[in-house]
Amino acid sequence: MPSAWAMASEKLQVVVTCTAPVNIAVIKYWGKRDEALILPINSSLSVTLHQDQLRTTTTAAISKDFTEDRIWLNGREEAVGQPRLQACLREIRRLARKRRSMEGEGALPLSLSYKVHVASVNNFPTAAGLASSAAGYACLAYTLAQVYGVEGDLSEVARQGSGSACRSLYGGFVEWQMGEQADGKDSIAQQVAPEWHWPELRILVLVVSAEKKQTGSTVGMQTSVETSALLKFRAESVVPARMKEMMRCIKERDFPGFAQLTMKDSNQFHATCLDTFPPISYLNDTSRRIIQLVHCFNTHHGQTKVAYTFDAGPNAVIFTLDDTVAEFVAAVRHSFPPSANGDKFLKGLQVTPAPLSDELKAALTTEPSPGSVQYIIATQVGPGPQVLDDPHVHLLGPDGLPQWAA
Ligand code: DP6
């Protein structure tokens, strides 16, 4: 007797499940020169975080039985008509058609007229400033490419979902070249160094608030482009040299150089937000306390051992090396004592607890602020999107409907 899955799945022409990573920019993208194609005013550079800790999982299925395109995000059905989703679907189908016409009729064993069902889940809070849209759209682009048999660079597809998503298509260290062409064909992401290039590098996500952010990046950067002279100066006169310098730091594994530039670029991005009119502020008191903590820590050691960076939200992302993780986590625990669930304060990679020296304790000048950091996710640099071969992981059941929620 064939299983229910095997029988019912005959109705599904193709079903694929993939995962994609979160990325965190060390040279920030902020501002578009083309809103529709999502073309940036400056290049940017990011680090891909490991999917063992942070990932989006997406299943896409096509079937002649589906009557419309449908999408479920974290267990809830969402409007498939939203422009960015439509742009991704249109783009991938266009690439599939292009491939079919180049390789001759019949190169793809499926009909492009079939409707698609998509289900996607994140294993981390959505819209908490943890780049969920980047992982989400990268995963969508990658999964649809598998379904439609599209090969090659998918920057164009992912980018039209969310600009930063094109950087989540690759592992390791990734550059998004702004490009010059009006059609955006040269605005693509590419790997600068693979995930194994800098094995000592560690990343700590300090979750300050899991609330939905106030001003979304899309609207925020639109207002910045319209009103901030500092942003224009940054894009034209600061970022080009920073991109080169950041690539050197990564290539040479120069941690102090990498760390200082990461902090400066985060600070400049938030300065452009404040220079926007009306001003935007993504950082809160806890974010500023974390900034102070990092600087106290580095000053105490007489060298730059830790860096912070913040996106469009109050959560901090910390870069450090493996030999410093335990001591820095102890410093965070000291400055932000867990209010409850002290045992669940640290998630992700194992960190052997380290004592805090009296000298370092004395150097941490900020008053302890209990409960302000909810938890820490310890992770490292990771690979790009992956195809999951196990049919049991599909988020869509044999009937093409979600079979489990996040
Ligand atoms: C602050 O990629 O979310 O995280 O292209 O409008 O979807 P849209 O914006 P998005 O912006 C991310 C901005 C940032 C910096 C960065 O990741 O480079």
Rounded to the nearest whole angstrom, what is the distance from the C-alpha of residue 189 to the centroid of ligand 1?
14
- Residues 123-142 have a mean pLDDT of 80
Asked whether residue 374 carries a pLDDT value surpassing 60, the answer given is yes
Rounded to the nearest whole angstrom, what is the distance from the C-alpha of residue 195 to the centroid of ligand 1?
22
Residue nearest to atom 5 of ligand 1 (CA): 163
Asked whether residue 139 carries a pLDDT value surpassing 90, the answer given is yes
How many other CB atoms are found less than 10 A from the CB of residue 389? 8
Identify whether the C-beta of residue 21 lies closer than 8 Å to the C-beta of residue 383: yes
Q: Ligand 1: which atom is nearest the Cα of residue 134?
A: 2
User: Which of 47-56, 101-110, 323-332 comes out lowest in average pLDDT?
Assistant: 101-110
User: Tokens 């935007």 appear where?
Assistant: 280
What's the pLDDT score for residue 5?
A: 47
Rounded to the nearest whole angstrom, what is the distance from the C-alpha of residue 3 to the centroid of ligand 1?
44
Contacts 24+ apart (CB under 8 A), 251-257: 251/192, 251/193, 253/197, 253/198, 253/200, 255/201, 255/304, 255/305, 255/321, 256/303, 256/304
Distance of alpha carbon 313 from alpha carbon 124, whole angstroms: 15
Coil, strand, or helix at residue 197? coil
Residue among 56, 217, 309 whose CB has most ligand 1 atoms within 8 A, to mutate: 217
Asked whether residue 262 carries a pLDDT value surpassing 70, the answer given is yes
Instruction: Give the gyration radius of the chain's Cα atoms.
Output: 22
The strand ranges marked E within 42-95 are: 44-48, 55-63, 70-73, 76-78
Per residue in 67-112, pLDDT (tens digit) is 999 999 988 999 999 999 999 999 999 999 888 777 765 555 566 8
Identify whether the C-beta of residue 62 lies closer than 8 Å to the C-beta of residue 14: yes
Identify whether the C-beta of residue 348 lies closer than 8 Å to the C-beta of residue 382: no
Residues with CB under 6 A from ligand 1: 25, 28-30, 38, 44, 133, 162-164, 217-218, 311-312
Distance of alpha carbon 130 from alpha carbon 124, whole angstroms: 8
What's the pLDDT score for residue 124?
A: 79
Residue nearest to atom 1 of ligand 1 (CA): 311
For residue 147, what are the CA distances in angstroms to 14, 19, 114?
Answer: 6, 14, 11
Per residue in 147-184, pLDDT (tens digit) is 998 999 999 999 999 999 999 999 999 999 999 999 99
Q: Ligand 1: which atom is nearest the Cα of residue 162?
A: 7
Contacts with 90 (C-beta within 8 Å, 6 or more apart), sequence order: none
Rounded to the nearest whole angstrom, what is the distance from the C-alpha of residue 55 to the centroid of ligand 1?
17
HSE at residue 163, side-chain half, CA atoms within 13 A, is: 29
Per residue in 15-41, pLDDT (tens digit) is 999 999 999 999 999 999 999 999 999
Rounded to the nearest whole angstrom, what is the distance from the C-alpha of residue 133 to the centroid of ligand 1?
9
Residue among 164, 166, 218, 272 whose CB has most ligand 1 atoms within 8 A, to mutate: 164
Asked whether residue 397 carries a pLDDT value surpassing 60, the answer given is yes
Q: Ligand 1: which atom is nearest the Cα of residue 159?
A: 5
Rounded to the nearest whole angstrom, what is the distance from the C-alpha of residue 162 to the centroid of ligand 1?
7
What's the pLDDT score for residue 117?
A: 97
**pLDDT higher at 404 or 207:** 207
Coil, strand, or helix at residue 113? coil
Is the previous residue joined to 278 through a cis bond, with omega within 30 degrees of 0?
yes
